[in-house]
Structure 1
Amino acid sequence: MGTKEQVAARIEDREASMVEFLSDLVAARTVTGNEGPGQELLVERFEALGLEPDVWEPDPGRLRDHEGYFETSSFARVGYEGRPNVAARLAGSGDGPTLALSGHVDVVDVTEDEWDHDPWALTREGDRLFGRGAADMKGGLAAILLAVESLRDLDVDLAGDLLLLSTIEEEDGGVGGTLSALERGYVPDAALVAEPYGVPNVGTASAGVMYFRVTVPGKSAHAAWGHEGVNAIGKATEVYRALDDLDRERKARIDYEPAYRATPGLEGNVTNINLGTIRAGDWPSTVPAEAVVEGRVGWPPGESREEVREQVEGAVDAVATDDGWLADNPPRVEWFGWQAAPHEVPEDCEIATRAKRNAEAATGREGQFIGGSAGLDERFYERYYDVHAVSVGPEGERLHGADETTTVTSLLETATTLAWTALDYCGEATDD
């Protein structure tokens, strides 16, 4: 039996251990901003592997001048104290290249009454696992640990190093997580991120994501004399219509085929502008003097952040130009929170082709290169450090929603793919 076959068999043998660890991770309620409890579990597992984990809290002062930096909403809310990243290095015995296996420990919050299962307790029903983060992406972290533990069990000696990373706040932009790790010096030759892309598919692109706020002025008055006021909600409705028109125009104009290779419903919808919140007024009998609308714009590779900002701001400016009140009292557009640029990795680069080949061998199914519909940490590697990074991870359904779920089978297949790709990419050390 060859090394790969032995590793795959060992991964199968460790299924129960993987599920138990994932159960512990899900129970640690690591909603973005409270990642510490989950990171403690990773530290324990790294130490059990005989590794020396590096544990640090991000320093925004060292990151602010970086091109990829923006102030995340979670940092603005709670800072970085008590929110560590964790890294460990499994040193190789030769001069092979360094590969990072990376994942984020934070998850989005839940509305518990929408769930049929306890979101904070991993539930198994046959092959299927339910729980917040089971797929996105504590399942990926469990698969990374399973892959490395199985290699260690078999005393596989890699020629190159493995970097193991568990990072924070990916769901909020990843600045204090993956960017902080890269700036700390954890820069590999290539990276695999265990996002739930549905092994054997391999993710080679991510979307740009930006949040914006439009403050629309009105003029307050008593409702009985409403003719003397200007209703900011009504004016905000005009802004909504303009941005909705821009959204439809962009959808008709912009195409990115990898985004819908595995999800056909995304065809014609690879870019989107969503207005998600509105705040206005404080009393039914008062004409509101201000409306504040917040939204998100997402788009695939092909446009810069500056180009997209100009289009959004231009649509709002056009409303003001055509409206007598807003011409003299123009809406104000601000950009906050997520300000991520898109990225794409060449589909013929070494780490992408090796990962896909191993994923197909591990699953017995044909995979596709996909991506470009979500903002991902992979962009930091590719855009700012010239490091090819791809996504290889388990199946995932209802991500960010109620009854998030993955499968045991796809987690085992992910672990096998990661281990085999580490063997191929880093190489096995040989005795001279």
Structure 2
Amino acid sequence: MTSHAALSDAIRSSEDELVSLTERLVEAKSVTGNERPAQRVVADYLEALDLEPDVWEPDPESLRDHEAAFETSSFAEYGYEGRPNVATRLEGGDGRTLTVGGHVDVVDVTAAEWEREPWTVTREGDTLYGRGVADMKGGIAAVLIAIEAIREVGIDLGGDLLFQSVIEEEDGGVGGTLSALERGYVPDAAIIAEPFDVPNLCIASAGVMYFRVTVPGKSAHAAWGHEGVNAIGNAATVYEALEDLDAERKARIDYPPAYRADPSLEGNVTNLNVGTIEAGDWPSTVPSEAVLQGRIGWPPGESRLEVREQIESVLESVAAADDWLAANPPEIEWFGWQAEPHETATDAEIVRTAASNAEAVTGETGTFVGGNAGLDERFFELYYDAPAVSVGPVGHNLHGADEHTTVESLLEASETIAHSIVDYLGTTD
């Protein structure tokens, strides 16, 4: 029996364990900022495989000067104490190295929107429901089952296999994947089990930035409102200008991988969203300040600097068209997510290896997708010269109510990853 066939048999026979591990991870509630419960599950599983987990909390000082670093919102709120990463090294021959794994943090839920219990797995036929079953605790489980199968079959890899389970990917990944890379877990290539519906492979991530615009006004009693300047009105002008910029960018920017898997994204591969606005403290007072917070996301093709300049230019134009704002211009602050987009070449060996195995395992033809969401894969590609590809299960309602995946796609992802590990690293014989 070939190693691929033996691995597939071992993984298929572990279906119950794959589902059980996914259940334990989902039940270990690990919203970004409180990842420890799920990391305990991961570390315990590694120890059960006779692998020594490396468990550490990120050191913000050691990361601060890295060109990819920024202060994440979760770090600003929680710090990194009590938020460990987990990694291990399966030593192989003297060949190249490969990282596999992903993130263990998930976004929170609005329980009233769910038809099922979000913090436990509900199985209905082949479908699994629960927060994180797809994004991406199911993927973590699929990777661990793949590693277990390699050990069960007795394959001696030709190079080191690195596994990582990291924190705060949903908030930018600085304390997670970047911390792991800076700790020394730098591979020649990486496979991350994000849910992009194997045999599709994700080869790109979006640039993502958060911004805060403070728009001035002048306070006054509403009965003498003519003596004041309403910051809400000025903020509305700023909002409309940003909406116009969003429409112009949507019409101008195209990136086919972003809508190959989701046709609704055609014409929407970049998005500028104002998510919050705060102003005023009393109905009879003209507000003196309004604060808008927003996010802009965009596919490969523009740098952070270029996108920032576009937004700042819009604010300058708004100010120039108004006498009050010309003398009291809006101020912009860039905070939280500040990620560059990335794209991995489709002819990179790890991409070709994963694509071949994905199609062989599923019996279907896949495509290359991505570029509409921020991903940790950018750290490998942009800053450590390590091509990274996402191979993961199908995912529906990610970040929404009744998130779900399928057992079959988790098994297919696990098989694809196991086969790709062996093909990329080779064996000692």
- What is the TM-score normalised by the length of structure 2? 0.99
Alignment of 1:278-297 (within 5 A): 278-297=277-296
Give the corresponding residue for 1:9: 9
Q: Aligned partners of 2:391 and 2:158: how far apart in 1?
A: 22
Q: Aligned partners of 2:7 and 2:59: how far apart in 1?
A: 39
Give the corresponding residue for 2:40: 40
Give the corresponding residue for 1:206: 205
Q: Aligned partners of 1:397 and 1:224: how far apart in 2?
A: 52
Q: Aligned partners of 1:362 and 1:429: how far apart in 2?
A: 24
Deviations 1:226-277 (A, max 9, x none): 1111111110000001101111111111111111111111111111100000
SS at match of 1:268: coil
Gaps in structure 2 of 5+ consecutive residues: none
User: How much does 1:153 deviate?
Assistant: 1.2
Alignment of 1:8-407 (within 5 A): 8-92=8-92, 94-407=93-406
> Aligned pairs, how many?
429
SS at match of 2:87: strand
Q: Aligned partners of 2:393 and 2:17: how far apart in 1?
A: 17
SS at match of 1:210: strand
SS at match of 2:276: strand
Aligned amino acid, residue 8 of structure 1: S
SS at match of 2:195: coil
User: How much does 1:95 deviate?
Assistant: 2.2
Which 10-residue stretch deviates more, 383-392 or 155-164? 155-164
Q: Aligned partners of 1:18 and 1:255: how far apart in 2?
A: 38
Q: Aligned partners of 1:66 and 1:235: how far apart in 2?
A: 37
Deviations 1:357-395 (A, max 9, x none): 100111111000111100000000000000000100000
Q: Aligned partners of 2:230 and 2:95: how far apart in 1?
A: 66
Deviations 1:163-189 (A, max 9, x none): 000000000000000000000000011
Deviations 1:322-348 (A, max 9, x none): 011111111000000000000001001
User: How much does 1:50 deviate?
Assistant: 1.0
SS at match of 1:237: helix
- What is the TM-score normalised by the length of structure 1? 0.99
Give the corresponding residue for 2:410: 411
SS at match of 2:30: coil
User: How much does 1:51 deviate?
Assistant: 1.0
User: How much does 1:96 deviate?
Assistant: 2.4
SS at match of 1:413: helix
Aligned amino acid, residue 50 of structure 2: G
Q: Aligned partners of 1:394 and 1:15: how far apart in 2?
A: 14
Deviations 1:117-156 (A, max 9, x none): 1100111000000000010000100000110111111111
Q: Aligned partners of 2:386 and 2:104: how far apart in 1?
A: 22
Q: Aligned partners of 1:366 and 1:284: how far apart in 2?
A: 60
Deviations 1:57-82 (A, max 9, x none): 00010011100000000000010000
SS at match of 2:247: helix
Gaps in structure 1 of 5+ consecutive residues: none
Q: Aligned partners of 1:261 and 1:347: how far apart in 2?
A: 15
RMSD of equivalent CA atoms: 0.7
SS at match of 2:208: strand
Q: Which runs of 4+ in 1 moved over 2 A?
A: none
Give the corresponding residue for 2:424: 425
